[in-house]
Structure 1
């Protein structure tokens, strides 16, 4: 959004439900009445309901369901995560956009899109990202860690999302090791962590988060494995109006929770993060299929260690630590 349009929106938001005279707006913006009118029309095209009346001015009646910074910022409690905010109506992939950010981009920058046309998950799988129905975003981080530690940020993000869903939506979610958020046996969120690194140092890490929020239906091939917060809210909270979730509040809560957990991670609190992830795990105690290059094996998931590795018990009774990012784990008796 252009800077002047952004300023107009802030003026109208400060006075929501009350008229602001055209002259007041002109004086504050330093532009003509004609320019103000043009910016009002830009906001109307974006979905803002703005009344105008002769000798009264303009009044903001209603904001649209869009994820621009000015709509999310009132819910943000962070110091730096999400404070550099790159918003797109449509992109191929927010992770691709985030990885292309200049090296001097401040840590904690976030790329947010209303729609992804080439969204992807782990192992290159496509991620359906319909316009205005979910949260499709990527965090740009510069942690002082080794490349081997980078996969741990997937666990940090998973816990942040699960906590945000609980606080902002009021329903519980589980974590399928290492990168999926699960509700009623179906996937509601996926996380994709990608890094730029040298042999012994990380340059940057991009954590992509895709949350199915207000999706009402899914393509044929996803009906049995995907769900949305809207669908689950209607099941668990049938009296909650139409079940529609406030995407702006939820996005901010993810960032709020992520910053707190990320700072703990950098201070060495990862074992505590894993403890909380284990409490929400839908993988521990279940039969799984460990997928490796050239094959795989069936095992029982028994624990997650302090490094974030999944401990599995093989059919011969031996145990093995499975590292996120090296293999995939699939449920034997269903998706989870």
Structure 2
């Protein structure tokens, strides 16, 4: 089960780095999870940093061993995104969304992110090192960040980030335990129904050009179908930037 065992680290450079070192040192149980009170070099997607004050937010990594072939890796990404969505929806309400590919949004603001790093042994997908950061108690963010939001800002309440981390693990487990190719079509439709800007006009940046487009679909391999005028672009991870007007 995700979160069993659940390790609490007082300080670490990155929970993903720590988990990666553990699986490289020897076998660990599927669902082993490491939660950090403080990260000194937390990682986000495409090399971005994830920073947080000690004990303020959820910063955890779980080592998963999905019974899937590597070409099916977007299935895991969808399952994890749905689990994180289920969690945040409980506390933040119906304005919760999933921004492609697996950020958690509230309205137009980013509440959390997911970073999955794969460990391969030959052609075998041995582990998916799945890092999740969710803003829980941050009262204010640096002006340099475009659109962050925390659960505290949404609800006006302070939360126990460690207790919520255990609840997040339970929500992830609800999805992960049912992860199977038979459910993927259904889950992909569910994922799209929760997507930020799905079939709504928005600004995007591709190859340095900013334009208004509409997300029309997400393919089973994770590519985003973005309508640009009369053209349909099929874009992979890192090939498109959502333009947020502050």
State the TM-score, normalized to the length of structure 2: 0.88
Distance of 1:313 and 1:264 partners within structure 2: 33
* Mapped pair 1:91 → 2:12: yes
Pairing partner for 1:203 from 111, 116, 126:
126
C-alpha change, 1:286 and 1:156, in structure 2 (3 Å) is farther
Structure 1 counterpart of 2:166: 252
Distance 1:267 1:303, change over 3 A: closer
1:294-305 counterparts in 2 under 5 A? 298=211, 299-305=213-219
> 1:333 and 1:82, CA in 2 relative to 1: closer, same or farther beyond 3 A?
closer
Decide which of 172, 175, 180 is 1:266's aligned counterpart: 180
CA distance in structure 2 between the partners assigned to 1:296 and 1:201 by the alignment:
39
| Residues in 2 aligned to 1:152 and 1:210: alpha-carbon distance in whole angstroms | 20
2:149 corresponds to: 227
Whole-angstrom CA distance in 2 between matches of 1:328 and 1:199 = 28
Count of residue correspondences: 241
TM-score (norm: length of structure 1) = 0.66
Contact 1:177 1:283 (8 Å CA) reproduced: no
User: Moved runs in structure 1, 4+ residues, more than 4 A?
Assistant: 295-298
Alignment partners' CA distance in 2, 1:150 and 1:136: 22
Aligned pair partner of 1:331 in 206, 227, 242: 242
Give the 3 Å change call, closer, same or farther, for CA 291–97 of structure 1 in structure 2. Answer: farther
Q: Distance in 1 between matches of 2:86 and 2:152?
A: 17
Pair 272,308 (structure 1): closer, same or farther in 2 beyond 3 Å = farther
Q: SS where residue 100 of structure 1 aligns?
A: helix
User: Relative contact order (alpha carbons < 8 A, sep ≥ 6): 1 or 2 greater?
Assistant: 2
- Specify the SS of the correspondent of 2:11: strand
More strand by share: 2
Per-residue CA distance 1:153-178 (angstroms, 9 max, x = gap): 222222111211222x2523111111
Aligned residue in 1 for 2:80 = 157
Structure 1, unmatched stretches of 5+, are: 1-79, 235-242
CA contact (8 A) 1:89 1:115 kept: yes
Q: How far apart in 1 are the matches of 2:164 and 2:187?
A: 21
Secondary structure, aligned partner of 1:302: strand
